[in-house]
Structure 1
Amino acid sequence: MFTVLPKQTASMQTRDGTRLDADIYRPDGEGEFPILLMRQPYGRAIASTVVYAHPTWYAAQGYIVVIQDVRGRGSSEGEFKLFSHEITDGEDTVNWAASLPQSNGKVGMYGFSYQGMTQLYAAVNQPAALKTICPAMIGYDLYADWAYEGGAFCLQTNLAWAIQLVTETARLRQDKVVYQALFALSRNLPVNNPEILQSLAPESFYHDWLANSQEDAAYWQELSPKRHLRSVDLPMFHIGGWFDTYLRGTLQLYDDMAARSTPQHLLVGPWAHLPWGRKVGDADFGLNAASPVDIMQIRWFNQFLKDIDTGLLQEEPVCLFEMGSNIWRNFPSLKVSNQKFYYLSTTGLASIREDSGSLTANRQSHSQNSDVLVHDPWRPVPALGGHAAIPAGVFERSHLDLRADVLTYTTEPLAADLHIAGDIILEIFCSADRASYDLCAILSEVHPDGKVYNLTQGYIHCPIGTNPAPLKMQLQATCARIPQGHALRLSLSAACFPAYPMNSGTGAVINSEGLLNAQIITLTIRCGGETNSQLLLPVVAPN
């Protein structure tokens, strides 16, 4: 361990002459050290300490730590425009940091969320000094992993983030009136009047994200890291959380990079976007759930920036926290070949009685029934926990399952422990009396005392003209042990508001005027016979 010198502030110029400012933390020692770089938009003094150790801790491990304000944020010059300058600014910053006094010329990057995205963009042009990155909680496909899920706009998280960013913009401009108005909105999200941002922050990315609702829009093709990283082959340590809204991006990036030649490791904890600790919502996953990320990152950087054989290259690359057992488990990959099928069965009263809808291992090939679900926009099913709502995490939801606009399908109490790890797929035969509808699916654990706790969920927006049979939905990946005597429950609804906008019957309600035209939607879920809806679980052996 090194003592750490007082923080220094230094500036660099990008290729177009824009000044970017950074804080530098140095170990007090002779010789050369590798660089750890974080580029972020929230004011560099924060340095992502909401989830990581302070930069002084990293510097004490023998690294020069550089925390930089991206263009147009903090004290850096230029105009902040979401992700637009991060490829070239990131490359310029890597090259500048590698040339700092006492640098050994090797740069690694770390950070989560926007700070994870800046790592991906910096890697695009493959600067020689960038030897490894540790992206956490990112959007690899910016449309499908961040802005939208299953074609549905991620309303609550996108709106909250947009307000956070434009509030900081107002503060930097010293616009007191707009700042105070936005600060008030941040404490009470205007989910029924989001167009207020048009007047307070007309330059926000939020408006572009709403306007580009189709995945193939040129906007997403230009900004999405996935498009730019096709030729990149760089060692990466990927970090995610089971209740993080961007887990899809973390897992897809890992999958793509693991197919290339360089080492890729993955860690997924039982965390929401922040903090990374033992408690998330109503659940306490114990001391093992406390973040090991700082220690693991130093080991990773020692391997690739200091050429120390840490032994990690001989270990299985995937490390997942198994909820319920509350232990970390290692796997050779994310691929699980053993699937357990549960089929939906009903007497037709799954919206009224908990004992009407069931999940059974036996296909109901000779009998067919349907459940009818009525969505009333006056009282949409509210979001509760999971990965898409604020707050995220695990919550007791039996009161929601008793609503008549929620269908529930429950297994018998399990005869033995069930261990699952990976993607969960729902194939469901569903039709509606309107041109467009949404479907939300939540998988929960039912305790013997009747309490119900969500494990994972999925959401899909069915636009006008689509009525697939069966409808296929991928729920958020998870890793959990469901103990003997407990049961699994699938809950279906036509809304999860305000995590996602309500569907008016013709499309998403994205402003207050749209509420005027929102219609009651009737969904029909078919079970049994040739239309046997089913749930596919990825089953793994006990540890």
Structure 2
Amino acid sequence: MTSDWLLVKPKEVHSCLTRDGVRLDADVYCPEGDGPWPVLLMRQPYGREIASTVVYAHPTWYAAQGYIVVIQDVRGRGTSGGDFKLFAHEVNDGYDTVQWAAQLPNSNGQVGMYGFSYQGMTQLYAAQAKPSALKVLAPAMVGYDLYQDWAYENGALRLQAGLGWAIQLAAETARLRGDDLAFNALRSASRNLPLNGAVTAEPDVLRQYAADSFWHDWVAHPQDDDYWQGLKPNLADVDLPMLHVGGWFDPYLTGDIRLFKEMVRGSAHLQHLWVGPWTHLPWSRKVGEMDFGLGALNPIDKLQVQWFDYCLKGKGRLDHGLTEHGPVHLFEMGSNCWRCFDAWPSGGKVRQYQLQSTGLAGMREDDGQLVLSEVAVLPDVAIGDVLVHDPWRPVPALGGHGSWPGGSCDRTALDGRSDILTYTTSRLEGDLAVAGEVTVALTVETAAASYDICAVLSVVQPDGRVFNLTQGYRRVAEPGDVPVTVPLQPTCFRLRAGQALRLSLSGACFPAYPVNSGTAAEINHGVPTMEHQVITLAIHQGPETVLVLPLG
């Protein structure tokens, strides 16, 4: 990163006119002097004054590094004209904006884009249109495949994250329309998520005050159908250098990794990935109840300036070992340091643990065990654990990537519930390093037409406290005696001697995901809560019931 800081002119408001005549407003921050300067563009729906400062430095900081910074309100948000419809106009509007920004006074005609979440997706939609001025992207925390990476997780609706976001966007729509009644009702709902209606996923406040919300479509499309395919950015013919950023406790991490892998397979340009121990926001060292140390402090602002200097100015080099040690940087929880990889870790060595107990894994924390498969001895008589899910008192969400607040939290007391099965290793005698995608393979027997499985992987400290590292969730609609695989959120961690590893299994994680009704209804989210059933699951033990860890 350059050390030559520049003075920045007072912010100016500039407007872009789209091809269909809609005015899009932007705040423009320029360095003092004549330039010419490259342009950094962010397009967002929350009011451009915020400028994603919940995770990034203020635009004046970026302008001081020698860039024209453009923060634009997307169509129908802030002071921009037109009607807002989730992602509907971002391809054409993104193209028009990039080409317009390239022609701003003192611009050198080259544009890079940055931003996270929605602001990350607007980069991908703009890239889809292939504007000639767009040279580089820095997408962070993007649900690239809207169905698999954003709205649903293995068939289960991401209720808390999605509903909260829908209410926020609906409230902003009401504010822009000057509808005090709707705004205040929605604002109140955002402070106390409305989960107590007849149908949990369809609160009255959204039906009454936001009939045009995208949320109604999301709930109505529980399968990966044409609706979702039409929303996914089409990057088949796009080849741009990209700096990908994710967080171990961010709900959209699978989207970051999916995008990175796809671009690496077909790109002739640099593709770099950084994943920190962060939730969606903020990106700091304290995540949930865990302090990951100085190494977890947000490095992305300085890194992005290096990235843009390299790609837009042709100067400097990519430090932090990116060029010398590989394009993948993963924060290893436990050692609390960054590790470099030549590629996303996959296809390497694995360690398998079998789940064993005397049938009391839900009653005693010392009963369920994780035993290395190579030394596991199966009992003469098949033993399993029975898990009873009561919809009246579902297992609550605590931290992780699907709930708010997220992160690593002390779940010692939660694991004491009898509707959570726990399986724990003996105290480790040496380091256990894990990097990549964790899976749990189970054989589940039930009479219920559908059920959910929540799998949480945690570290057990020498003093007995338990902190979650990663987790996964899956909705299953196969009654009987069937194999079930639950993929957990990708992760990277290191356990030390004296610590232990624990797997916790339950039938709910509410309100991160809706409670499963146990019925055969395809749209399980729309079943009235009074029709929800008690669900009994038998988890069989055997060589096929295993936790699979990718060794790092």
Residue 378 (structure 1) shift: 0.4
Q: State the distance in 2 between where 1:145 and 1:321 align.
A: 21
TM-score in terms of structure 2 length: 0.95
Matched, 1:202 2:217: no
Q: State the distance in 2 between where 1:230 and 1:462 align.
A: 32
What are the superposed Cα offsets for residues 296-319 of structure 1, whole Å, 9 maximum, x if unpaired?
Answer: 000000111001141454441001
Q: State the distance in 1 between where 2:238 and 2:379 align.
A: 53
| Pick aligned residue for 2:280 from 273, 276, 293 | 273
1:327 corresponds to which letter in structure 2?
Answer: C
2:525 corresponds to which letter in structure 1?
Answer: I
Aligned to 2:298: 291
Identity %: 57
What are the superposed Cα offsets for residues 475-503 of structure 1, whole Å, 9 maximum, x if unpaired?
Answer: 00111111111100000000000100001
| Pick aligned residue for 1:79 from 78, 83, 87 | 83
CA contact (8 A) 1:343 1:364 kept: no
Q: State the distance in 2 between where 1:162 and 1:267 align.
A: 28
Task: State the SS of the aligned residue for 1:49.
Answer: coil
Q: State the distance in 1 between where 2:406 and 2:417 align.
A: 21
CA contact (8 A) 2:195 2:203 kept: no
CA contact (8 A) 1:36 1:108 kept: yes
1:189 corresponds to which letter in structure 2?
Answer: L
Residue 366 (structure 1) shift: 5.2
Aligned to 1:218: 226
Matches within 5 A, 1:81-480: 81-193=85-197, 194-196=202-204, 197-215=206-224, 217-225=225-233, 228-260=234-266, 261-311=268-318, 312-336=322-346, 337-361=348-372, 362-365=375-378, 367=380, 368-463=382-477, 465=478, 469-480=482-493
What are the superposed Cα offsets for residues 284-339 of structure 1, whole Å, 9 maximum, x if unpaired?
Answer: 11111110000000000011100114145444100111111111111111123011
Residue 467 (structure 1) shift: 5.8
What are the superposed Cα offsets for residues 109-167 of structure 1, whole Å, 9 maximum, x if unpaired?
Answer: 00000000000000001111110100000011100000000100000000100011001
1:319 corresponds to which letter in structure 2?
Answer: H
Q: State the distance in 2 between where 1:344 and 1:97 align.
A: 57
Q: State the distance in 1 between where 2:455 and 2:439 align.
A: 10
RMSD: 1.3
Task: State the SS of the aligned residue for 2:16.
Answer: strand
CA contact (8 A) 1:334 1:422 kept: yes
CA contact (8 A) 2:445 2:479 kept: no
Question: Number of aligned pairs?
Answer: 533
Q: State the distance in 2 between where 1:505 and 1:364 align.
A: 34
CA contact (8 A) 2:115 2:140 kept: yes
Aligned to 2:509: 496
Q: 1:305 to 1:466 in 2, by over 3 A?
A: farther
Q: State the distance in 2 between where 1:195 and 1:284 align.
A: 36
Q: State the distance in 1 between where 2:481 and 2:33 align.
A: 64
Task: State the SS of the aligned residue for 1:145.
Answer: helix
Q: 1:84 to 1:352 in 2, by over 3 A?
A: same
1:207 corresponds to which letter in structure 2?
Answer: H
Task: State the SS of the aligned residue for 2:122.
Answer: helix
CA contact (8 A) 1:365 1:532 kept: no
Q: State the distance in 2 between where 1:221 and 1:177 align.
A: 36
Residue 538 (structure 1) shift: 1.1
1:347 corresponds to which letter in structure 2?
Answer: T
Q: State the distance in 1 between where 2:135 and 2:325 align.
A: 20
Q: 1:131 to 1:315 in 2, by over 3 A?
A: farther
Q: State the distance in 2 between where 1:79 and 1:365 align.
A: 63
Task: State the SS of the aligned residue for 1:183.
Answer: helix
Q: State the distance in 1 between where 2:21 and 2:245 align.
A: 34
Residue 191 (structure 1) shift: 1.7
Gaps of 5+ in 2: none
Q: 1:300 to 1:467 in 2, by over 3 A?
A: farther
What are the superposed Cα offsets for residues 446-485 of structure 1, whole Å, 9 maximum, x if unpaired?
Answer: 111111110000000012x466842111100111111111
Q: 1:275 to 1:516 in 2, by over 3 A?
A: same
1:304 corresponds to which letter in structure 2?
Answer: C
What are the superposed Cα offsets for residues 399-452 of structure 1, whole Å, 9 maximum, x if unpaired?
Answer: 111111110100000010111111101111112121111100000111111111
CA contact (8 A) 1:344 1:532 kept: no
Q: State the distance in 1 between where 2:463 and 2:376 align.
A: 28
| Pick aligned residue for 1:57 from 43, 58, 61 | 61
Q: 1:338 to 1:13 in 2, by over 3 A?
A: same
Task: State the SS of the aligned residue for 1:397.
Answer: coil
Runs of 4+ displaced beyond 6 Å: none
Gaps of 5+ in 1: none
What are the superposed Cα offsets for residues 37-88 of structure 1, whole Å, 9 maximum, x if unpaired?
Answer: 0000000000000000000000000000000000000000000000000000
Matched, 1:482 2:495: yes
